[in-house]
Every structure is written in C-alpha cells, then in structure tokens.
C-alpha cells in the first residue's frame, strides 16, 4: 500500500546558511571571532574572553595548550578546514581516514575533530569507549546529512520494503550521514560507502538484492549507478515530503536504485557553464570534480573522484599543468599554495567555503583545548550503544568490500 502523505518542504538551516561566508575575493583569512560572529549563521556561545582575541594570541595559546596536553590529545583536521585550523592538525584527511587514524592510535584521552558533526560521530563509533571525541563548535553540522532525518528515512524504508515485498532492497548510506542512518543500514543488511569505494559497494549490494536505497546524496548515487550501466529511467528520487516519495507505484517497481533527495551545498554550485569558461580562459586546462557534483558536470569534466583522488592527481601532475577543480575552496586554495609550479584554481568564481566546516574557527579549537587542560571535556560527541553497534556493522561490511 503506497503512502499519500504530504508535508510542507522544510530546508535544513545548514542549507539556508551556506552562502553566509561567500565572497568575491579569494582571501579567506580568519578574522577575530567577534567579527565572524556577525555573519548571519548560528554560532555556539563561547566565554566572552575568547571573542576578541587576535590571531597571534590564539596561535600562541593553542601552542601552549597543546604542549601541556602532549600526546594524550589528537587534533584531526578535515581537508575542507581553513588553513588557520589545519596548521594545528596532527593528521589531515577525509572523514573516514581521520577516524581510522584516531582508532588506531593508542593511549589517547581525547580526539578533537575539526570537521562536522557526522564525522565526530564516526570517530566515536570507531575509537575506544574511554576516548572522548570533541567537536569544537556544535553548530558545525552538514547540510547533506541534515537532509536525511532518521524518522523520514524509517518511513521510507518501511514503505519500500512493503512495496517490494520478497524482492530484497539493500540500504546504502554515504559516509556523510548521521550515525542513526548508518545504524539503520547496519541493522537491515546494508552498508556504508565513501566516494572512493561507492562502485564496489553498489556491486556488493546488487549481489545480495535486486534494488538499492541510496542515502543521502542523490548525485553520488546517480553517478555511481550510471557508471555501472544502470539507466536513468531505472533510478528514482525519493522526496520525504511527498507520498511514496513523489513516485508512482509503476516507477518504483521499475527502479533498481531509489535515491534520497539530498545533495551537498558546496558541490551543487559547480556548473557546466563554469567548465566552459575555464576552458575558454585556459585552453589546456584539466577539469577535475568531485562525484557529489551533478551528473552533467561530471559528464563535462575530464576526471572525477574523491577528495583524496583529487589531491593525489594534482600532486602527481606534471609541472606547468593547469587544473580547474570542482570541490571545496579551502582545499583548492591549499593545493594551489602547495604546488606553485602548477596552475590550480576553483571552477566557481565566487569563493564559497563550506559554511559548516568554516564554523570551526581557531578560537573554538583554543577553547576546547584549554578546557581539557582544566580537566573539563566540552562538546563531547557520544553515540548511543545500540546505534553504535549497528553502525559499526555497516562500516565493517564496507571495510570487507574495500
């Protein structure tokens, strides 16, 4: 029996706030926290003494706090973090690799994850129970993860399993999702994927079922399906705001892949027109984009791949080569600085850092470090035991596939 429910569409606040830090200049140098707090986004409250600290004061105090804490504390920095934060990271990388680093390091008391909320959740799932995982700013969420709320996904899952009856559907969630969504997948024969291993995970799923529910990024799901030869007419988008996801029973019965209606606020900014402009201005340019971009952008680009693949490709490229990159601006700027012998620039002429990543201001890092020195753990991210266990099942399946 298909659903006839309809709810008004609600846009995650993180999506609405995405443009808050956009600017026409490429200068993303951090201001004092008091100045940045004027941006029209949600910020976590911090003690007043921290708000007006100048950058040199923040750096000096972070270094002092790190020195006192020693090797008991690890600072992780995601590739999309601003340089003023990444300079203090013990490791920098993508979300899953950072969590693995933390899990494999013994003797830690705390892990400070300079990233977003779902990343800190994954770190808590993978690290020992006596390790405190800290997110410097609790307002650092993820618009994509926020587009898949567990109640909505549970309703979708119940309806799809009823429609398909004895035809098995395998739930796959992208790493960029909440622990609750990973748990749902783990407890229903499903799995987690990254942008690097999505193809292998899809193949794994189709060995075990006739259909896939892919969460929460429709673009990565669609791009992976097309790569495996699944036709666009065999994929449907499920909107949580419409009855049966906005699909007819006939469409759902024909579908091999059901794509959740979610996307990345950063990667959907890239367009085919931007690629054309880059090629007009730089005739020999290589265009490389992230697979969270829309399908027409991937089709027009020369290459696509995960953040790690983008870094590797540009790092190993010939001196003098030119690269137009479709991913987060902080990483693109860092690649340009680290490879001055190459021309590296962002496809989007408007500088728009990920607004949730950008909320990890260096002053927040200082605040949580100094609190640890005072014996106080602030902003600990803790995943419930049952959720943790089921999410770990889905993550371990991914590891076996990879």
Mean pLDDT by runs of 10 across the 402 residues of the chain is 54 67 67 83 91 95 97 96 95 92 94 97 96 97 94 97 92 97 98 97 97 98 98 97 95 97 95 98 97 98 96 98 96 96 95 86 97 97 97 97 86
Give the pLDDT score at 36: 84
Give the pLDDT score at 22: 73
Give the pLDDT score at 41: 79
Spatial separation of the C-alpha atoms in residues 161 and 156, rounded to whole Å: 9
Spatial separation of the C-alpha atoms in residues 54 and 70, rounded to whole Å: 24
Give the pLDDT score at 231: 97
Angle formed by the axes of helices 385-401 and 117-126, nearest 10°: 90
Q: What are the φ/ψ torsions at residue 351 (nearest 5 degrees)?
A: -80, 110
Give the pLDDT score at 28: 66
User: Strands of 286-289's sheet, edge to edge?
Assistant: 303-304, 286-289, 322-326, 343-346
- On the 0-12 / 13-18 / 19+ scale of CB atoms within 10 A, 362 is buried
Taking the model in full, what pTM does it have? 0.93
Q: Which CATH class is domain 145-265+386-401?
A: alpha beta
C-alpha distances in Å from residue 379, one per residue of 64, 114, 140:
21, 12, 11
Within this chain, domains 23-140+356-384 and 145-265+386-401 share the same CATH topology: yes
Dihedral Cα 26, 27, 31, 35, nearest 10 deg: -50
Give the pLDDT score at 29: 74
Kindly report the CATH number that applies to the domain delimited by 267-346: 3.40.50.10800
Give the pLDDT score at 89: 97
**Among 278, 289, 269, 367, which Cα is nearest to 322's?**
278
**DSSP three-state, residue 235:** strand
- The arrangement of secondary structure in 23-140+356-384, i.e. its CATH architecture, is 3-Layer(aba) Sandwich (3.40)
Give the pLDDT score at 236: 98
Give the pLDDT score at 352: 78
Domain boundaries, the chain: 23-140+356-384, 145-265+386-401, 267-346
């Amino acid at each position: 029996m298909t659903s006839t429910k309809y709810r008004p569409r609600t846009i995650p606040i993180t999506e609405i706030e995405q443009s808050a830090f956009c600017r026409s200049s490429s200068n993303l140098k951090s201001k004092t926290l008091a100045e940045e707090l004027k941006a029209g986004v949600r910020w976590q409250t911090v003690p007043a003494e921290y708000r007006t600290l100048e950058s040199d004061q923040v750096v000096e105090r972070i270094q002092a706090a790190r020195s006192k804490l020693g090797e008991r504390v690890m600072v992780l920095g995601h590739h999309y973090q601003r340089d003023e934060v990444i300079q203090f990271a013990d490791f920098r990388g993508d979300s899953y690799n950072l969590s693995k680093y933390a899990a494999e390091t013994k003797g830690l008391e705390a892990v400070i994850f300079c990233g977003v909320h779902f990343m800190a959740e994954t770190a808590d799932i993978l690290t020992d129970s006596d390790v405190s995982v800290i997110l410097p700013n609790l307002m650092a969420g993820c618009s994509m993860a926020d587009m898949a709320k567990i109640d909505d996904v549970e309703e979708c899952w119940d309806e799809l399993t009823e429609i398909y009856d004895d035809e098995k559907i395998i739930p796959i969630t992208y790493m960029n999702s909440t622990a609750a969504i990973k748990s749902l997948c783990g407890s229903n024969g499903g799995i987690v994927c990254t942008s690097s291993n999505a193809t292998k995970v899809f193949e794994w799923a189709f060995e075990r079922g006739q259909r896939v529910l892919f969460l929460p990024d429709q673009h990565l799901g669609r791009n992976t399906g097309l790569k495996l030869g699944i036709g666009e007419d065999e994929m449907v988008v499920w909107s949580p705001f419409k009855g049966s996801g906005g699909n007819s029973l006939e469409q759902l019965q024909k579908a091999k892949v059901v794509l959740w209606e979610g996307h990345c606020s950063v990667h959907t900014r890239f367009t085919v027109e931007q690629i054309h402009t880059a090629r007009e201005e730089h005739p020999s340019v290589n265009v490389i984009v992230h697979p969270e971009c829309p399908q027409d952008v991937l089709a027009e680009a020369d290459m696509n791949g995960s953040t790690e693949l983008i870094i590797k490709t540009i790092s190993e490229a010939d001196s003098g080569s030119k690269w137009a990159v479709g991913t987060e601006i902080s990483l693109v700027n860092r690649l340009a600085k680290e490879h001055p012998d190459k021309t590296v620039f962002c496809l989007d002429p408007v500088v728009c850092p990920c607004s949730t990543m950008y909320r990890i201001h260096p002053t927040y890092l200082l605040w949580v470090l100094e609190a640890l020195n005072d014996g106080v753990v602030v902003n600990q991210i803790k995943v419930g035991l049952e959720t943790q266990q089921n999410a770990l099942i889905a993550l371990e399946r991914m590891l076996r596939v990879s």
